[in-house]
Structure 1
Amino acid sequence: MEEEKLKEIQDRYIDLTGALPSSIELRIALCKATNRINTVLAIEDLRQVVINENPLGHKISQLVQFGQLVVLGERDPAKIHARAAIKAGASTTELLGVVELALITSGMPAYSLGVEIISEETQPRQ
């Protein structure tokens, strides 16, 4: 039963972002190794409600999270949410709009980080 729930969690991340983030793999592995898997299950139950069942919908909620993480200067998580926003239908213009708002909140460092992430994530993959 526990393994089924973990598989569902992993599948949700893949569906949302296109891949299983390494931070999630590490979280699951550490909690398994320390017999604290219920922590992961509780966190993921909350994430299911506040992210996957959010009334804003996937695209807008991913844009919001992208902006929040840019403001915090969290490059890797921001990239994950930029990718998820794109996967949910966000345009480059919408991503840039979020970054422009981050400029107001956190200044040029946040704006520059956001522009870098957008540029990286909108380049064709080779």
Structure 2
Amino acid sequence: MYLSLPLPSTVTRMMTVTVFSGTGDSLPMPYTVTVPKNGVCRDLCKALSDACCLKESETLLLGEVYDYRIYRYFSPLELLHIIKDGDQLVAYKLPAGHEKLLRIEILHRNVDRIYSRAPV
């Protein structure tokens, strides 16, 4: 009288990424987007671009933060299934031609700490 059926597996997953402005003109903002479970980082960047209204003159640099530091950057073809649900992901809005730059330096500062020191 009973029929066992397998539960349907999901083909998408939700990922939360904090997007930082490359110019510092806006506060960091977390975005939660839906991506294919077996997709690549390019799919995540596309979903984030739509969510944060990225301009055509901008692109996203996707990275992972561990122990309050940038642990690694993701290439567009890296598989999303290697990113765990607990990983802290960040994306930086950069000019579209940032790949041609020799060096990109990303620096986070606590504003209170900067202005609380006396000038030297």
Q: Same fold (TM over 0.5)?
A: no
Name the larger-Rg structure: 2
TM-score with structure 2 setting the length? 0.26
More strand by percentage: 2
The structure in which a higher percent of residues are helix is 1
Larger RCO: 1 or 2 (CA < 8 Å, sep 6+): 2
